[in-house]
Structure 1
Amino acid sequence: MTKKLKHYINGQWVESSNPNKLDILNPATQEIIARAPNATRDETEEAIKIAKRTFESGRWSDQSPQERAAVLLQIADRLQENIDELRDLEVQNNGKTKREAQSDAEEAVNTFRYYAGLLTMPNGQAYEAPGDMQTLVVKEPLGVAGLIVPWNFPLLMSVWKIAPALAAGNSILLKPAEITPMTAVKLFELIDRTDLPKGAANLVMGTGPVVGQTIAESNDVDMVSFTGSTGVGRLIMQAAAGNMKKVSLELGGKSPNIIFDDADIETAVDFSLFGIFMGAGQVCSSGSRILVQEGIYDEFIEKYIKRAKKIRVGPGTDEHSQMGAIVSEKHLKSILHYILMGKEEGANLALGGNRIEEDGLEKGFFVEPTVFTDVTTDMRIVREEIFGPVVTIQKFKDEGEAIKIANDTEYGLAGAVFSTDQNKALRVIKKVRAGITWINAYHLTTIQAPWGGYKQSGIGRSLGTYGLDEYQETKQINISIDSKPIDWF
């Protein structure tokens, strides 16, 4: 039976007045698994007002850090108790493999626990100021945080925003991607079973031009945090300018993965496969541009393609699947268009390039792992974010050329260097203009470290102490410890 979803506003599950619902599909089968509400502007504005009223009431924002931490731990416990269901919903709605969805669900639990622990740590600063003054620097919640998440990590991206936003004492309004709301709905079902005050966390489903635009424009929203494409990020910034609200953006990437002649080639091949084909390449930090030094270029390609051919593509429900489905038919067509473009631009299609419509996969949105070689920097498949299982492999001569090619992009989210010369690796990675980087690894990271990019890959940082700072105001309090007239006039 197709599930009927509802908004969660002020602690209540509510219908939308809009009769036009959103069909939610399983991308591995095209089966309609749910129908989601398609919020109107008025419904979104009402949810914002409730979030603001709740914040101003102090029922959440005035609670002590220890009290807020206890609620975050309750949420973490509810997630842990339902981790299998969260994993399976993610597989069903997003199309990723069970192993990937399991990892996401576990990290979601750990994120709530991390911010619960961070809340109880010492915070703020104190200074001795001239004139018998004591200066305190304290952190305070912003107010209402509008959180807009993408479809590639529906659960994890929601938690990466919700956990620090609530930890800071804000009220929130979450807008999940319109095609992947299932785990967000389950998450709010679990939040409803905790001591979080009603109205502090609200869920509204709908389209970007209506719900997202309303959140970004609203004078009652104090911050908007968005993860998605660079193009939409620009629109968010423009809309947010009305009340000069704080904006945090985690946007696109076209990340370089630099392989030097002296790299351990088996390790480099292994992580380079993981860097692009994990999540079917639908990852903002994917290593979609592999740069290989000319001395091992042919050997690397031979080994890489041999391994890539063995990747098992299939539905996430199949334990043997290593790469899952593309999230939607629209995005599938976009990926196939880029593959056609690459061939027309003269790149060598060394592997893949086709939709998979056999072995029981004909009903789903599946694409072969695709490798282009002999590419040049001016090609669109090298410059533009494809956001799929498509990688380009490009040759370079020396360290200087590698750095030049790596930075020849409007993006700056991630990057990696593979070399057994640690001095060279560190020297090069420091020159790569990106916010998330690796040496002799890819994609491995931790909740405690900041996540975000340079250039058109975004503004601000998620996770770690930086992620909590994003959802706080910094206030200076000056106290006279010897109160007497200043005699200025």
Structure 2
Amino acid sequence: MTLQTEPKTYQNYINGRWVSSSGNQVDASINPANKNEVVGYIQKSTKEDLDQAVAAAKKAQVQWRKLSGPARGEYLYKVANILESHLDEIAETMTKEMGKTLPEAKGETARGVAILRYYAGEGMRKIGEVIPSTDSEALMFTSRVPLGVVGVITPWNFPVAIPIWKIAPALVYGNAVILKPAQETAVTAAKVIQCFAEAELPAGVVNMVTGPGSVIGQGIIDHPDINGITFTGSDQVGKMVAQGAVARGAKYQLEMGGKNPVIVAADADLDLAVDATISGGLRSTGQKCTATSRVIIQKEVYEPFKEKLLNKIKEIKIGPGLHGDTWMGPCASESQLNTVLSYIEKGKAEGADLIYGGKRCEDSELKHGFYVYPTVFENVTSEMTIAQEEIFGPVLALIKVETLEEALEIANDVRFGLSASIFTQNIGNMLSFIREIDAGLVRINAESAGVELQAPFGGMKQSSSHSREQGQAAIEFFTAIKTVFVKP
């Protein structure tokens, strides 16, 4: 199925119905590969719209939580099958709206299907434990109970996978959901929510309200009837979520930025390390929280690694994500493009040497999109801005070191701690890295940007709220423990 030629207006989904915003205003979602193309129009919602969604969710959750876990899981199985049947359409929409290549978009959508099926199965798993009581005649046990209404605030870089890996566990554990997707990818989000609608979940269990973060995002933070907030985005906004949630006693979960290092040891397989650095750092135009940003290389292999890296980067085909030969698409928006370009200028101003890329693509075929060349700096020091702050673009900073100990010190010398990887054939190096790296996701001889849905995911330091998403770890956030003591 292909996109309609005329841009469609997508509505909010509240209490089982598609409805327009009470403010009667819409925003245009722009194709980053061609800023003159509107993918669709999405609602610019008001606080009143959010209040309606929360009221519907609060009412629906009362009955939803009474369903058995397996019964809630059956709904997720239905959603998975429907999403799978619309995979090509949703992936194409994602590519046109966010810019990532079509194979990446299809892979992400397929991952969404797998996440739904995984959490459908979680409905069959245990939700408590029996604990011995000091009273021999008593029974004591724990049970997991839902939070109630959960606000889900998601970014634009994974517009299918991230909403689903939050919504699916929230639902299977008995919560009702309010989704506030990023405006940049709200058309994709609407098509995902349509799958929930087609699965005929009870009205009000899943709701979507689109609009600016200052209104809908802040409204979710402040709303007294939203019991938990799960957020993925920048660390600056994440801190606002945390402060607001703490102020009113709501539970919160944050997954924020990364400044992810790859260490290339002197004994590394350089071809493997180069391929993984390019894949981890430049796929999705570097717009992943787990993307490789700093490449820390021992001096013995620095020059051959750099030569291999540049040779491969020069082969990268840049273009619209729907083109079959495109390897790297545009930045997701003009704002993001300008952010990347500003960091490149900071790198040059602070004394790093630009050795490849570093500018906007202005070829005749690309001038109407938000394209930037893959960019590589060398002679980067740890205190430079491009070695400290998350760029969220296709920019690699090469750092030469003498020893593995120096590499680890530099790798940890940032406020983030999301993912990290090392390339080495030495078991001692591997064990030192595992033991000493401050990162929630540690990868050995693999790119930094690999996340598996069945495993806990989250970061150290300012990369997260020290909670974990995905896998069976999701139950820790989306439920509370109730301890029960029964005396005959």
Alignment match, 1:348: 353
CA contact (8 A) 1:414 1:434 kept: yes
Q: Which amino acid aligns with 2:403?
A: D
CA contact (8 A) 2:45 2:211 kept: yes
Q: Which amino acid aligns with 1:48?
A: V
CA contact (8 A) 2:422 2:444 kept: yes
The question of 1:47 aligning with 2:49 is answered: no
Q: Which amino acid aligns with 1:187?
A: V
Q: Which amino acid aligns with 2:350?
A: E
Query: What's the % identity of the aligned pairs?
Result: 38
Q: In 2, distance between residues paired with 1:412 and 1:12?
A: 41
CA contact (8 A) 1:167 1:468 kept: no
Which shifted more, 122-131 or 100-109? 122-131
Alignment match, 2:469: 462
Q: In 1, distance between residues paired with 2:156 and 2:306?
A: 31
Q: Give the secondary structure class of the aligned counterpart of 2:320.
A: coil
State the shift of 1:352 in Å. 0.3
Alignment match, 1:445: 451
Alignment match, 1:105: 109
State how 1:167-316 maps to structure 2 within 5 Å. 167-316=172-321
Alignment match, 1:115: 119
Q: In 2, distance between residues paired with 1:255 and 1:284?
A: 8
Choose which of 368, 374, 380 in structure 1 pairs with 2:373.
Answer: 368
Deviation per CA, 1:324-363, whole angstroms, max 9, x where unpaired?
1101111111110111111111101010001111140110
Q: Give the secondary structure class of the aligned counterpart of 2:131.
A: strand
Which shifted more, 126-135 or 304-313? 126-135
Deviation per CA, 1:259-304, whole angstroms, max 9, x where unpaired?
1000011101110111100110000011101100111111111111
Q: Which amino acid aligns with 1:62?
A: K
CA contact (8 A) 1:171 1:200 kept: yes
Q: In 2, distance between residues paired with 1:209 and 1:361?
A: 32
Alignment match, 2:482: 475
CA contact (8 A) 1:291 1:402 kept: yes
CA contact (8 A) 1:219 1:242 kept: no
CA contact (8 A) 2:41 2:187 kept: no
Unaligned runs of 5+ in 1: 484-489
Q: In 1, distance between residues paired with 2:173 and 2:61?
A: 12
Report the TM-score, using the length of structure 2 for normalisation.
0.97
State how 1:121-136 maps to structure 2 within 5 Å. 121-132=125-136, 133-136=138-141
CA contact (8 A) 2:65 2:146 kept: yes
CA contact (8 A) 2:109 2:160 kept: yes
Which shifted more, 300-309 or 18-27? 18-27
Deviation per CA, 1:389-448, whole angstroms, max 9, x where unpaired?
001010111121111101000000000011001232122122110101100001233111
The question of 1:400 aligning with 2:405 is answered: yes
Choose which of 91, 94, 110 in structure 1 pairs with 2:95.
Answer: 91
Q: In 1, distance between residues paired with 2:247 and 2:422?
A: 42
Unaligned runs of 5+ in 2: 1-5
Q: Give the secondary structure class of the aligned counterpart of 1:151.
A: coil
State how 1:122-161 maps to structure 2 within 5 Å. 122-132=126-136, 133-161=138-166
CA contact (8 A) 2:25 2:45 kept: no
Which shifted more, 124-133 or 348-357? 124-133
Q: Give the secondary structure class of the aligned counterpart of 2:292.
A: coil
CA contact (8 A) 1:416 1:429 kept: no
Q: Which amino acid aligns with 1:267?
A: L
State the shift of 1:258 in Å. 0.6
Q: In 1, distance between residues paired with 2:381 and 2:434?
A: 22
Q: Give the secondary structure class of the aligned counterpart of 1:350.
A: strand
State how 1:374-453 maps to structure 2 within 5 Å. 374-442=379-447, 443-453=449-459
CA contact (8 A) 1:135 1:478 kept: yes
Q: Which amino acid aligns with 1:191?
A: F
Q: In 2, distance between residues paired with 1:79 and 1:304?
A: 38
Q: In 2, distance between residues paired with 1:191 and 1:115?
A: 14
Q: In 2, distance between residues paired with 1:28 and 1:472?
A: 41
Q: In 2, distance between residues paired with 1:169 and 1:8?
A: 19
Q: Which amino acid aligns with 2:352?
A: A
State the shift of 1:195 in Å. 3.3
Q: Which amino acid aligns with 1:349?
A: L
Q: In 2, distance between residues paired with 1:135 and 1:344?
A: 64
Q: Which amino acid aligns with 1:53?
A: K
Q: In 1, distance between residues paired with 2:27 and 2:431?
A: 48
Q: Which runs of at least 4 in structure 1 moved beyond 6 Å after TM superposition?
A: none
Q: In 2, distance between residues paired with 1:470 and 1:423?
A: 36
Report the TM-score, using the length of structure 1 for normalisation.
0.96
